[in-house]
Amino acid sequence: MNIILFGPPGAGKGTQAKKMSDHFGIPQLSTGNIFRENIKKETPLGKKVKSILDAGRLVPDETVVDLVTDELEKNDYKNGVILDGFPRTVNQAEALEVYLSEKGETIDYFITLDVPEEELVERILSRGEGRSDDTAEKVKTRLKIYRDETEPVLNYYKEKGAVKEINGVGSIEEIFNRIKNAVS
């Protein structure tokens, strides 16, 4: 089962993706986490993307698509994947479709978490994870990029008819229950 967990920064994708991964027994693939690990370890990829993440901008499509398609070749993902933070542009979504269709696969669920913008800002500024991009100024940039470049991905999947819109306001468990209901 292949699932995309979608939504703006601060919507709770990482938290819910982890819970879904435990519940469904399918690994989570978080592009943001992979980039942060590479930055921490100062790998060539980390060095390449550090200033982009610090600025709250998007890593170039080619870099992200190569990363995700390489990762998905691993045996861990033989039963599927929960994609968290990818695709973030229509180009990425199209590349993913090509990759999956060559394998005779598809996206089974596209789950989008709806959270009002004021709450997103509040959540990000109070989450205290020490992320370099969790500052008031960077959050503004990230939300603008989300609206301009990432939100069109939602329409791309809506046209395919696979979108489940989930109310992303409430407790972690409440939101997780809504997701479980949408997936079963």
Binding site for ligand AMP (CB under 6 A): 9, 31-32, 35, 52-53, 56-59, 64, 85-88, 92, 133, 142
The answer to whether residue 50 is catalytic is: no
Ramachandran quadrant class, 105 (left: phi over 0; alpha: psi -120 to 50; beta: rest): beta
The residue annotated as part of the active site, out of 40, 78, 127, 158, is: 127
The answer to whether residue 147 is catalytic is: no
Question: CB of 80: closest distance to ligand AMP in angstroms?
Answer: 18
DSSP structure string for 31-92: HHHHHHHHHHTT-HHHHHHHHHHHHT-PPPHHHHHHHHHHHHTSGGGTT-EEEES---SHHH
The answer to whether residue 142 is catalytic is: yes
Question: CB of 73: closest distance to ligand AMP in angstroms?
Answer: 18
Q: Which residue is nearest to ligand AMP (CB)?
A: 32
The answer to whether residue 103 is catalytic is: no
Question: CB of 172: closest distance to ligand AMP in angstroms?
Answer: 17
The answer to whether residue 123 is catalytic is: no
For the four alpha carbons of 171, 55, 110 and 38, in that order, the dihedral sign comes to negative
